Structure 1
């Protein structure tokens, strides 16, 4: 059966040149990023949906916690864990967070607990990649799903009840080590030589020659004040500058799973001729039943009969003149009723022939 309509243009960028854009939307400050925190802890107060007795690390964690409060368990004591679950706690911490501020946390079961609903995370330290403790987490876990089980073994689950969040449940205890005072480096979100040069020129024109230097298509180094308050004010002024954005490389993006094609408006093709054909083979199987007469006393026989049909599709020759634009490409491909697979083959063949003036990206 023939596939559905050929070509889905999810986005058409009719122009890739922006007259001017706010500099703050084009760059990030190098080192100004979130840092990942992680911790291991226990969620208590569950309604019988916690880890089972087979989860030994949860037993050990409960035993160690009780010892910290002066509760000594005998060697043969086996604490019941149906109301306790071992979890990991993850959070993102900005370098601008200071002690006393709070951030959200995600709590995820690492044992065989069925649900974290109604549980409370007890005090847990969170560490950075350097192994240092930067925050402490504690609070009620909010779960966006549920799980229920009947006595006959039937069950129902909605969303993921073994993952929850604690809004503002993480308290910052220490700051991330700030980068040493020195030059500021701006990183372009979309690296482009022309844009990097325009940013450098605009900053030098505003603050004086030698203030900025573009040393790659993705980075601009800026001489900035050493005092922290003046650096903040300086960055605030820089982010408000208007900068001309350079033209990015034209792109054709093809999603092989959905058949979606995204083509920027600046895509051009050189003079090229394309012939697209296809072979469709259909095989059908039918069975005839032969019923013997009553007098013969024979058995019923089944005879298979195959039907084979071969159809060759030929779309003819498509010709695009030099510097054909997006509309011509789309109109021509649509006119032959191409399926997404056929379109994929056409684009790949044109790219191999260096006929596409842009990047072909297949995802």
Structure 2
């Protein structure tokens, strides 16, 4: 309890209101189209030491297709035991401006009953984009950080995740993705988080360096007029990304993690006049039954006599009063004075929100 309050007070002290600091434009947003693209594909990993999918149907069909590409036809109706092969999904991120011939990393994950991919090799597999086109081809030996072993009596030992591996530079780019960088005289820039004031400040900073080059379209997007020459355009984009802009103060927000009990309050949180009284009523019931024996030579029977003791204790009668516009530091001091636990803190904040005294958005994750 005391440890939680100390850590909570320290976290709040670090987030007390301070003067906003300027940030680079590249840390506030990104140019539209200049982003990575997700690729995915289906493949087969071979060379496993008996830890594969065995005779899983889709592994067998995949192996028929693989063997057919290299000129080997498996007999019809024969389902080979494939303990040394596993069906996998292959995923990768295609960086912006990636050109054919460049190499990218791939992640390989088992989708069947394979126990481990350690020591396996991925057979040549195409990687598709969201449009169904092939953008890369993957192949190579897997690096697996996990380990899984089992004994004859059914006991198992697993370290990390042995069914997921990675191939560094395991895919060759075969097709580039258009970004819009080289076409048109207008390129859009998007904020990571929507905010009209921040967008206006970025516009003013760009126009101060390049007059009439930027125009706000909405709370996220700025339209930038850029020269058509690629060299001049790249130089202008680089200069815009390095401009310093002071972003708008973040909205007042309280984030509650219901699973761990973590509560984070940012520096913009303010309180209207409010009083908080937080106490706990503890009721205790002690049962002490006694056995009553009948007198000798009597006709009585042994019986049980109930003996109950009830007590009630009420603690935490302290009342905390908040003045108008109370800051985060005042909130923390008052809640520490009340001796609140994580669950109590959440209940108090929710009650303040319902009473209209907490001027912040409550986010429960």
Give the structure-1-normalised TM-score. Answer: 0.89
Q: Which has the higher contact order (CA 8 A, sep 6+)?
A: 1
Question: CA distance change for structure 1 residues 83 and 290 in 2, over 3 Å: closer, same or farther?
Answer: farther
Cα deviation, 1:63-100, whole Å, max 9, x if unaligned, reads 22212222222223221201000100000111211111
State the superposition RMSD in angstroms.
2.9
Q: Distance in 1 between matches of 2:306 and 2:146?
A: 53
Q: Distance in 2 between matches of 1:91 and 1:342?
A: 45
- Aligned with 2:317: secondary structure? strand
Structure 1 match to 2:120: 119
Correspondence list, 1:1-363, <5 A? 5-6=4-5, 8-9=8-9, 10-11=11-12, 12-15=14-17, 17-53=19-55, 55-179=56-180, 180-208=183-211, 210-282=212-284, 309-363=311-365
Alpha-carbon distance, 1:203 to partner = 1.2
Contact 2:16–2:329 at 8 Å: present in 1 too? no
Contact 1:147–1:161 at 8 Å: present in 2 too? yes
Alpha-carbon distance, 1:184 to partner = 1.6
Contact 1:109–1:162 at 8 Å: present in 2 too? yes
Q: Distance in 1 between matches of 2:65 and 2:292?
A: 79
Q: Distance in 2 between matches of 1:303 and 1:140?
A: 77
Q: Distance in 2 between matches of 1:76 and 1:291?
A: 84
- Aligned with 1:164: secondary structure? strand
Flag the structure with higher strand content. Answer: 1
Question: CA distance change for structure 1 residues 353 and 72 in 2, over 3 Å: closer, same or farther?
Answer: same
Contact 1:6–1:343 at 8 Å: present in 2 too? no
Alpha-carbon distance, 1:304 to partner = 8.0
Contact 1:137–1:171 at 8 Å: present in 2 too? yes
The unaligned stretches of length 5 or more in structure 1 are: none
Q: Distance in 2 between matches of 1:291 and 1:220?
A: 91
- Aligned with 1:43: secondary structure? strand
Alpha-carbon distance, 1:61 to partner = 1.0
Alpha-carbon distance, 1:301 to partner = 8.9
The unaligned stretches of length 5 or more in structure 2 are: none
Give the structure-2-normalised TM-score. Answer: 0.88
Contact 2:191–2:220 at 8 Å: present in 1 too? yes
Q: Distance in 1 between matches of 2:86 and 2:256?
A: 44
Contact 2:150–2:156 at 8 Å: present in 1 too? yes
Alpha-carbon distance, 1:25 to partner = 1.5
Q: What count of residue pairs does the alignment treat as equivalent?
A: 359
